[in-house]
A and B are shown apart, each in its own frame.
Chain A
Amino acid sequence: MILYGIFLLSILLFFNGFFPISKTPQSFKNDPPKDMLPVNDTYAPVVSKLVLVVIDALRLDFVNSQLMPLTSRLSRGNGCSNNVSVQTPTVTMPRIKALIAGNVPQFIDIVLNLASTEQLKDSLIHSAYNSNKKIVFYGDDTWLKLFPSYFWRYEGT
């Protein structure tokens, strides 16, 4: 009986460790209180249009190489590059979640990657959509499963 109890406890510990229940906050961020800061000046947009290029699984030393004339324009102020490293377990959907919402990838995300639906409660996409920004998207259709109704135009591959 004791062995059975230990076995059951170890099974529970295993599933709790590798497949934890998601603790994603169920709330959206609120705008900063207008009585504290001059938010219209502090958060005034610097640019009118933004192009976000996500290149999955690309070595950063290729991008920064002097032999890459197009990407070297980044260093001339026409854009900025950011290297995002996501720890294993990692497939496309948890990578997108980590990038857009700051979620920490879990093992269960690998299973959910195949049947991912709109699950995020707050993200950069939600914030931009709620600010009446028109977002167009081209690329991996995992984005379309995560954000099925947030894009002005889109094409998934």
Chain B
Amino acid sequence: VDHNVTRNVLKEIEVKDWDIMILHYLG
């Protein structure tokens, strides 16, 4: 897990100035 990316995703969830969020993880 890349914790920097996870932190930035959590920030995006709070900012909400976007319309579409795409997250691509490896299962």
Whether A and B are associated in the same complex: the answer reads: yes
> Which A residues lie at the B interface, using CB under 8 A?
48-59, 96, 128, 133-140, 143, 152-153, 155, 157
User: Quick one: closest B residue to A51, CB to CB?
Assistant: B21
Bound form: Cα–Cα A52–B23 in Å: 6
Given contacts A56-B26, A59-B27, A140-B24, 19 further A-B contacts (CB under 8 A): A48-B19, A49-B19, A49-B21, A51-B23, A52-B20, A52-B22, A53-B23, A53-B25, A54-B22, A56-B24, A134-B19, A134-B20, A135-B21, A135-B22, A138-B9, A139-B24, A152-B18, A155-B5, A157-B5
B21 touching A139, Cβ below 8 Å: no
- Report the minimum CB–CB distance from A26 to chain B (whole Å): 25
Closest 6 CB pairs of A and B: A58-B27, A139-B24, A133-B19, A136-B18, A140-B24, A54-B24
Across the interface, name the chain B residue whose C-beta is closest to A63.
B27
Contact A136 B20 (CB under 8 A): yes
Q: Check B26–A136 contact: CB distance below 8 A.
A: no
Task: State how many angstroms separate the Cβ of B16 from the closest Cβ of chain A.
Answer: 7
Interface size on B, residues (CB 8 A): 18
Q: Which residues of A contact B27 (CB under 8 A)?
A: 55-59
B binding-site residues for A, Cβ under 8 Å:
2, 4-5, 8-9, 12, 16-27
Decide: A56 near B17, CB < 8 A? Known: A155-B5, A157-B2, A157-B5: no
